Copies of this chain bind each other. A is one copy, B any other.
């Protein structure tokens, strides 16, 4: 079995690689990214099974060549511009990465007559600002994207549906909710909070953050990638699935959990630069469709995730 994985150097791709190699030792992975993957956490014997190409996905002809040569059974498109906050500052870059490049990929798959199962990863941000009565969000809830990032994700999903319906590509879409887990960049809130608190340890006593009042549905990256794997096996082409925990939690509550766990009580300083022009106060998803289709059950609760993230930052900088 051959996997084509774009954005293979990223946070989620790393966890996905660990998982699929643990399940099947004989798979082959073709990985694409603009930067070399570190893969320290992957067993040596598996690393040999990864063929890596350092290439921009703007190069459609290269994509066609790769797909024709390796005929992947599965394509997972992890490559993306994934920060909501940055999308306000660099909307062009966001659209280039999330629309133009995705279009290149599905065009290449169409031209190469690929029969691969394709996973197109979207975001809970596509729902935008929602009213309480719509919670938890189901896949048929209207989309009301309220930042450049989520506009680009809506387009990606719409393109996926077109290519499934119009050209028979076997694309399955997700709307994945907020990830957390070890190895996530500290550009994201939970990882940033943990890092700041772990760094503190008796030193500076100030934690800098954005809006602590927003409520999000966090799901551990290790559960996310298991859901992806199940969707590739059992998802329906042209359909969209929420990947979420079904539970909403306020960022402030997470900060409180961390303070308690680390026995630390810093001053909280709000950085205005981290507040977005338009923000969604509350996002909670319904995993009902995913569960029904794939019998998915998460393995990590929030507390377990936070402990693992603390452990990871502790090892890195402690």
* Pairs across A and B, CB under 8 Å, 23 listed: A91-B107, A92-B100, A92-B107, A95-B103, A95-B155, A96-B100, A99-B155, A100-B100, A103-B148, A145-B158, A146-B162, A146-B165, A147-B162, A148-B162, A151-B158, A152-B155, A154-B154, A154-B155, A155-B155, A162-B278, A165-B278, A166-B278, A167-B277
Residues in B neighbouring A162, C-beta threshold 8 A: 145-148, 151, 277-278
Determine the main DSSP class of A at the interface with B.
helix
Does chain B have a CB within 8 A of A294?
no
How many whole Å from A1's CB to the nearest CB in chain B?
30
Is A159 engaged at the interface, CB distance under 8 Å to the other chain? yes
Give residues of chain A (56-108) contacting chain B, Cβ–Cβ below 8 Å.
60, 88, 91-92, 95-96, 99-100, 103-104, 107
Cβ < 8 Å to B, chain A residues 25-62: 60
| Contact present for B88 and A103 (CB under 8 Å) | no
Residue of B nearest to A94 (CB): B103
Task: Map CB proximity to B onto A130-154 as digits: 1 under 8 Å, 0 otherwise.
Answer: 0000000000001001111001101
A145 neighbours in B (Cβ, 8 Å): 158, 162
Interface hits, A197-252 → B, CB 8 Å? none
For the complex, what is the distance from the CA of A165 to the CA of B128, rounded to whole Å?
Answer: 13
What range describes how many residues of A lie at the interface?
20 to 34
Find A100's partner among B88, B95, B142 (CB 8 Å cutoff). B95
CA of A191 to CA of B132 in the docked complex: distance in angstroms? 49
CA distance A92 to B58 in the complex (A): 11
How far apart are A278's CB and chain B's nearest CB, in angstroms? 5
Q: How far is the CB of A156 from chain B (nearest CB, A)?
A: 9
| A166 partner, pick from B100, B166, B277, beta carbons under 8 A | B277
- Complex CA–CA separation, A60 to B104 (angstroms): 24
> What separation, in Å, do the CA atoms of A162 and B151 have in the docked complex?
9
What chain B residues lie within 8 Å of A103 (beta carbons)? Answer: 91-92, 95, 148
**Shortest CB distance A132–B (Å):** 20
Residues of B within 8 A of A159 (CB): 91, 148, 151
The 8 closest A-B pairs by CB, nearest first: A166-B277, A151-B158, A166-B278, A155-B155, A145-B158, A91-B103, A165-B278, A151-B155
Smallest CB-CB separation from A157: which chain B residue?
Answer: B151
Report the separation of the CA atoms of residues A107 and B87 in the bound assembly, to the nearest whole angstrom. 12
Q: Using Cβ atoms and an 8 Å threshold, which residues of chain B touch A146?
A: 162, 165
Q: Which residue of B lies closest to A147 (CB)?
A: B162
The interface residues of chain B lying within 8 Å CB-to-CB of A152 are 155
Rounded to whole angstroms, the CA-CA distance of A190 and B154 in the bound complex is 32
User: How far is the CB of A15 from the nearest CB of chain B, in Å?
Assistant: 30
A57 nearest CB across to chain B (Å):
12
